[in-house]
Amino acid sequence: LYLYNNQLQSVPDGAFDRLTSLIYIRLYNNPWNC
């Protein structure tokens, strides 16, 4: 799943729980709100 460069600031808990076949997620280059 490619989610880089999408202006994401956060990801809610459990957002990917139902994606059982997911192998990897690319989340870099987003302005994370840590």
pLDDT in tens, 1-34: 999 999 999 999 999 999 999 999 999 999 999 8
pTM: 0.69
The confidence score (pLDDT) of residue 29 equals 97
The confidence score (pLDDT) of residue 14 equals 96
CA dist 8 and 5 (Å) reads 8
The confidence score (pLDDT) of residue 5 equals 97
Q: Give the list of residues 6+ apart from residue 16 with CB closer than 8 angstroms, or none.
A: 1, 22, 25
Give the Å distances, CA to CA, from 23 to 1, 20, 28, 34: 8, 9, 16, 24
